[in-house]
Structure 1
Amino acid sequence: MATLLQQLLNGLVFGAAIALIALGYTMVYGIIQLINFAHGEVFMVGAFSALATYTLLPEGLRDHWYILLPLMTLGGALVAVVLAVIMERFAYRPLRNAPRLAPLITALGVSVILKEAVRLFYPGATAALPFPRVFPDFRLQFSVGDGVVVIGSTAILIIVVSVVGAIVLQTYISRSRMGRAMRATAQDRDTARLMGVNPNRTIVVTFVLGAALAGLAGTLYGTHLTAIDTELGFMYGIFAFTAAVLGGIGSIKGAVVGGFVIGLIKTLSGQYLPGGIAYDLVWIFALLILVLVFRPQGLFGEPERVRA
């Protein structure tokens, strides 16, 4: 029982990080039907930007985590946001009315460019680089039967931030003026323009929100695991895209639930299913295929309606 509870906690932490990244995927696709495969690299750039912020800050601040962590988070999110705005303006906007294959290939190209840019800026980034654990490191232990379940402070932080961030984002989209503009643009861009909505500004805000969450996730990921490398953008990008599709791409709730489901499957399958950790990806994508066969729109997505 202790092993099961520990794996459940590990899965929730892993899923919380994926959920923060998946929110960016699902928002962008919901507005302009673009699968932004470069979003995983935005998460990776956010992590490295937070690390760069740490190295640039005075050493006197490194003993005050309540100042250091917000500054690192701000640095990671700010670079991710600027990067996302540039991507939208120069890579995606000119192809907005092009066949869907063109922006998809462009997103893959942008992903490679970002990965290589970070590799050149951090020559040792192909291997794991140490990341400071700036959040106070304490661990809660619970005795369960003959075993012990342990959860660290950074694990709690990731879960809380992910859930609160999703709730705030859902509230913003549901109740704010810009949120209504996003929903109108997603439903019918031309009609929204006639009603006074500026689609370009709305799409930029969507990219900004998604990138800020990815930058936040990058900082929390580095703080929790204390190591980052250039490969994490691709792997977590695939996980986040899978979570968005599993939950119903375009759905905020679906992205979060999909992230937690994938996190739980990865940890539990590695512990209990045949093949162990070597086959955890097999079980994740097997579930994805199974869900899409019986519910193509995902767990919380809506069936696509074709207008007459």
Structure 2
Amino acid sequence: MLNEMIQTIPQVLIDGLTLGAVYAVIALGYTMVYGILELINFAHGEIFMTGAFIGTAILIVLTGIGWVSAVPAIVMLITVLLLTAILTGLIGMGIERVAYRPLRKAPRLIPLITAIGISFLLQDIVRFIAELKKGNFIVTGPSLFTNQLSIKASSISSIFNDASIKTSFVIVLVTAVIMMIGLDFFVNRTKWGMAMRAVAQDRETASLMSINVNKVISITFFIGSALGGATGVLFAVQYGTIDPYIGFILGLKAFTAAVLGGIGNIRGAMLGGLLLGVMEMFASANLTLLTGGIFGAEYKDVFAFAILIIVLLFKPEGLLGKPQLEKV
């Protein structure tokens, strides 16, 4: 049994890192907003979904006017990523301004319920538009980067099986890593990043130090939503088919990844997302073997969440989170 599990490791790592990178970037949106407002923005998963639809729509339009044959695929993808990021960033700012800012001093349960309401609203708006334009809310976008690459893992060691990947895997992983590194640099090395950290630490004191708190919060929502929307494009490119409900389960798992890494900790969200993706793919490949056929690959979520519960039992603040000290 152990040998069979080891043989699948190369393919598990490839698929797990692809999915984990998606989880990680979405988790960044959750953890940024929570770090500053202590608000769980449950509409963030639907921002991701909206980005997937916006990006797919732009790709369909560009394909229709002949960009596929005239422009390299990577240039077209970069164009779509930038346009989608800007649009979803503006949507995130609008949601914060209309739905969250007026409730900033309300009990924490009220903004949470509002976030759930925004989530359902975005789902239905996207579904309505998709059905109006395509006649079906399940949409398949143009295929990009479909070439298959073979990794000869058996040449490294005879205990490994060979693995295969699509070119899109490399694109998704590299782009996601660039976005994560860019965000980490922005938060820790720039003036606006310093302002965001100051607001996260003490909003009232930051305002007394001439920091425009409302602008910082708006920028936080813009960046988090832009990253989420761009990740939606990467998801659509990698997996091909999207629907208005992909944001719910992926958003829930990304939130889980943020909690696993340490909610409010940016690097923790990255680590949590990658770990969750790898654990999920490991379970998908090996759960039948581990349980003697009792559980199949469809129970991979149970396995991943069981690991999460075990980690939080021993380290409730998450892998990279810090315990919250209460002053008395």
Normalization by structure 1: what TM-score?
0.95
- The separation in 1 between residues aligned to 2:44 and 2:310, in whole angstroms, is 25
**Equivalent residues in 2 for 1:36-115 (5 A)?**
36-57=41-62, 59-63=65-69, 64=71, 65-115=73-123
Q: Percent identity?
A: 42
**Equivalent residues in 2 for 1:79-158 (5 A)?**
79-123=87-131, 128-135=138-145, 137-144=147-154, 145=158, 147-158=161-172
- The separation in 1 between residues aligned to 2:286 and 2:211, in whole angstroms, is 51
Q: Out of 298, 312, 318, which is 1:298 matched to?
A: 318
Could you give the per-residue CA deviations for residues 31-70 of structure 1, whole angstroms, max 9, x where no partner exists?
1001000000000000100111123335221222133212
Number of aligned residues? 308
Counterpart secondary structure, 1:76: helix
Give the partner amino acid of 1:109.
G
1:266 pairs with 2:276: no
Between Structure 1 and Structure 2, whose CA radius of gyration is higher? 2
RMSD: 1.7
1:33 pairs with 2:43: no
Quote the residue 2:218 is aligned against.
204
Give the partner amino acid of 1:291.
V
Give the partner amino acid of 2:68.
R
- The separation in 1 between residues aligned to 2:232 and 2:283, in whole angstroms, is 25
- The separation in 2 between residues aligned to 1:69 and 1:140, in whole angstroms, is 23
Q: Out of 257, 264, 280, which is 1:250 matched to?
A: 264
Tell me, yes or no, if the aligned pair for 1:53 and 1:71 is still in contact at 8 Å: no
Quote the residue 2:3 is aligned against.
none
Quote the residue 1:230 is aligned against.
244
| Cα gap change, 1:15 to 1:125, in 2 (>3 Å) | farther
Q: CA deviation at 1:135?
A: 3.6
Q: CA deviation at 1:234?
A: 0.5
Counterpart secondary structure, 1:36: coil
- The separation in 2 between residues aligned to 1:165 and 1:307, in whole angstroms, is 36
| Cα gap change, 1:259 to 1:105, in 2 (>3 Å) | same
Structure 1 outlier segments of 4+, above 4 Å = 124-127
- The separation in 2 between residues aligned to 1:55 and 1:15, in whole angstroms, is 27
Q: In structure 2, list runs of 5 or more residues that go unmatched.
A: 1-5
Quote the residue 1:173 is aligned against.
187
**Equivalent residues in 2 for 1:188-203 (5 A)?**
188-203=202-217
- The separation in 2 between residues aligned to 1:71 and 1:150, in whole angstroms, is 28
